[in-house]
Amino acid sequence: MPSAAGDKLWIIPDGYIPEISSGTLTSHESICVLNTASEDAHLEITIFFEDRDPIEGIAETVPGRRTRHIRTSGLKNNAGEAIPVGVPYAIEVKSDVPIIVQYSRLDSTQAENALMSVMAYPIK
Amino acid sequence: MPSAAGDKLWIIPDGYIPEISSGTLTSHESICVLNTASEDAHLEITIFFEDRDPIEGIAETVPGRRTRHIRTSGLKNNAGEAIPVGVPYAIEVKSDVPIIVQYSRLDSTQAENALMSVMAYPIK
Amino acid sequence: MPSAAGDKLWIIPDGYIPEISSGTLTSHESICVLNTASEDAHLEITIFFEDRDPIEGIAETVPGRRTRHIRTSGLKNNAGEAIPVGVPYAIEVKSDVPIIVQYSRLDSTQAENALMSVMAYPIK
Amino acid sequence: MPSAAGDKLWIIPDGYIPEISSGTLTSHESICVLNTASEDAHLEITIFFEDRDPIEGIAETVPGRRTRHIRTSGLKNNAGEAIPVGVPYAIEVKSDVPIIVQYSRLDSTQAENALMSVMAYPIK
């Protein structure tokens, strides 16, 4: 049977949704998750800011043996709170089964796009 | 005698083969592997998707004391299954001897290229 | 109660403040810190150079349950010492409570911007 | 007394010196090393290739309490062997005292530059 791999708590300190897009690509960020287990992974995402309390309780699911590349601009909790654009923030991803998390950003503020990517930091 | 270094299982959650190239460089991704041991490393690569079962059983070899920068667009299993372009996916690399794995992407969708790179995540 | 996560000592070997900006974005680097604990994190930052003694004793604070994306160009110790532009350097971040640290650079030396980001390296 | 931090063996699987530069910046790669100890760090660098034996015995020194951002294009062993441009390779950095190693690449093959950076992978 396929086995779970990775960790249950991951951190990305540098989150930022660019305000502007130009050229043919849209600026965006993705939280890329792999769930190697056979059961679903239930994520609970918290968003931290510089000058206000965190947005808590954002729920997402990654099915077993699947990846999901989740755009941060679509994240919302039950109260309808979403991440504002153009504001520095940080991301915590909790899961009930071990997963692996990578974060990537495409910035097309200027006509040609720029890319960055990091493996998220696992808390053991 | 040269000794093996690294781990036998590595994960890259954010895989994506860009559909478009422009300018002088072709968009591509590479799985960069170093085998410091004296014997060959036999890789078994699995590709995970968002909405379908994984592609399993892709075999590659990295000779002893060699590196290989493997383009993902050329990967194929015995059934001839390959990674489609323009689709989010994730990569698992298994090896019979310890190796070190890095993932890099060159995106030349727009006229000027963009680069990203991460060390893959080792599963202990 | 929210608990602290991460480590108390982080290293970034590749620091560099670009001298030039062009286009609509300013070249800059950020040390992005997340403090998941409820109490403040007091940072002590040291800057290492290739050909002179380190700048020591740069103090910054990250409040509890907050992130801060700290621009390196604004860092200064009590003696007023700051990081010169166009010079290779390295960064050590010490904290009294566990934090997570990521480093990102936006380079707009040329008209279109380039991005890079790494998770800092934790010293256990 | 300042204490050493990091590890003594680091791996970078994805090395590549771009053949072409355009615009105002030169394509290059750097191995960025921080030595937090008070004594010198003596590095021994090995370069691995896809289709030939490694180049061994490249020696560099990082003084105590200093960083060095070492361009790979200038590396040479006692036999005068250097890294060819336009060829995929991998890097091993050994040190007699613990250090921290990051790898960054600036690619200006096209008019606007692209950046990538990873923390090297420590072998414990």
pLDDT tens per residue across span C59-93 = 999 999 999 999 999 999 999 999 999 999 999 99
CATH code for the domain in which residue B13 is found? 2.60.290.11
In the predicted model, what is the mean pLDDT of residues D33-56? 98
The pLDDT value recorded for residue C22 is 66
What residues make up the domain containing A31?
A: 7-122
Neighbours of chain D (3+ CB pairs under 8 A): A, B, C
Q: Is B109 helix (H, G, I), strand (E, B) or coil?
A: coil
Does any CB of chain A come closer than 8 Å to the CB of residue C1? no
* pLDDT at B21 > cutoff 70: no
Please report, to the nearest 10 degrees, the dihedral formed by the alpha carbons of residues A73, A75, A78, A80 taken in order. 0
Closest to D78 (Cα-Cα) out of D52, D97, D60, D53: D60
Asked if B105 and A115 come within 8 Å (Cβ–Cβ), the reply is yes
Tokens standing for A95? 């899961």
| pLDDT of the residue at B28 | 87
CA B81 to the chain's CA centroid:
15
Assess contact for D11 and D103: CB atoms under 8 A. Answer: no
Distance from CA of C113 to the nearest CA of A (A): 6
Q: pTM for the full model?
A: 0.95
**Contact D112/C116, CB-based, under 8 Å?**
no
* Partners of chain A (3+ Cβ pairs below 8 A): B, C, D
Interchain CB distance below 8 Å, D34 and C92? yes
* pLDDT confidence of residue C2: 74
Q: What pLDDT, on a 0 to 100 scale, did the predictor assign at position A22? A: 66
Is pLDDT above 70 for B1? no
Confidence grade of residue C112 (pLDDT, cut at 50, 70, 90): low
Report the number of distinct structural domains present in chain B: 1
User: Nearest chain C Cα to B112, which residue?
Assistant: C112
Query: Measured between alpha carbons, how far is C87 from D9 in angstroms, rounded to an integer?
Result: 26
pLDDT at residue D21 is higher than 70: no
Greater confidence (C31 vs C21) lies with: C31
Residue C44 lies in a domain: yes
Contact criterion met (CB < 8 Å) for B50 and A30 = no
Q: Does residue D2 lie within any of the structural domains?
A: no
Mean pLDDT of C114-124: 95
Interface A–B counts its CB contacts (< 8 A) at: 87
How does pLDDT run across A59-117, given as a tens digit for each residue?
999 999 999 999 999 999 999 999 999 999 999 999 999 999 999 998 877 656 789 99
Q: Give the list of residues 6+ apart from residue D41 with CB closer than 8 angstroms, or none.
A: D33, D35, D61, D62, D63, D64, D95, D96, D97, D99
**For the residues of A36-92, what is the DSSP string, one character each?**
-SSS-EEEEEEEEESSSPPEEEEEEEE-TTEEEEEEGGG---TT---PPTT--EEEE
Copy the structure tokens of residue C34.
């997340």
Tell me, yes or no, if A27 comes closer than 8 A to chain B by beta carbon. no
Interface size A-C, in CB pairs within 8 Å, comes to 88
Q: Is residue C47 part of a domain?
A: yes
Record: contact C113-A109, CB cut-off 8 A: yes
pLDDT digits (tens, 9 = 90+) for B74-84: 999 999 999 99
Model confidence band, residue C15 (pLDDT cutoffs 50, 70, 90):
very high
Q: What whole-number percentage of chain B has pLDDT above 70?
A: 92
- Distance (Å) from the C-alpha of residue B1 to the closest C-alpha of chain A? 32
Q: Is the pLDDT of residue B112 over 70?
A: no
| Interatomic CA distance for residues A114 and C107, integer angstroms | 10
Mean pLDDT rounded to a whole number for chain A: 92
Q: Choose among B6, B25, B117: nearest Cβ to D118.
A: B117
> What burial letters (b/e) apply to D33-62, b meaning 16+ CB within 10 Å?
bbbbbeeebebbbbbbbeeeebbeebebeb
| Chain B residues touching residue D110 (CB < 8 angstroms) | 23-25, 108, 111-113
pLDDT of B22 reads: 66
Are B110 and A23 in contact, with CB atoms under 8 Å apart? yes
**Which two tokens mark D63?**
């003084």
Q: Which of C12, C14, C123 sits opposite D6 (nearest CB)?
A: C123
Cβ contacts (< 8 Å) between C92 and chain D: which residues?
A: 34, 36
Once rounded to an integer, what is the mean pLDDT over residues B8-32?
Answer: 86
Q: How confident is the model at residue D23 (pLDDT cuts 50, 70, 90)?
A: low
Q: Is residue B1 part of a domain?
A: no
Q: Residue-wise over B7-21: b if at least 16 C-beta within 10 A, else e?
A: bbbbbbbbbbbbeeb
pLDDT value of residue B24: 62
Q: Does A50 touch chain C (CB under 8 A)?
A: yes
* pLDDT tens digit sequence for B54-99: 999 999 999 999 999 999 999 999 999 999 999 999 999 999 999 9
Cβ–Cβ gap A102/B48 under 8 Å: no
pLDDT at A57: 97
The reply to whether A47 touches chain B by the CB within 8 Å rule is: no
Q: Which of residues 78-117 of C touch B (CB under 8 A)?
A: 112, 114-115
Percent of chain D, pLDDT > 70? 92
Nearest CA in chain B to D18: B25
Q: If you search the block for the tokens 């305000």, which residue do you land on?
A: A19
A31 vs A14: CA distance, rounded Å: 12
What's the gap in Å between the CA of C109 and the closest CA on chain D?
A: 8
Q: Which residues of chain C neighbour A49 with C-beta distances below 8 Å?
A: 66-67
Examine the pLDDT at A19 and tell me if it is beyond 90. Answer: no
- Residue A60 maps to a domain: yes
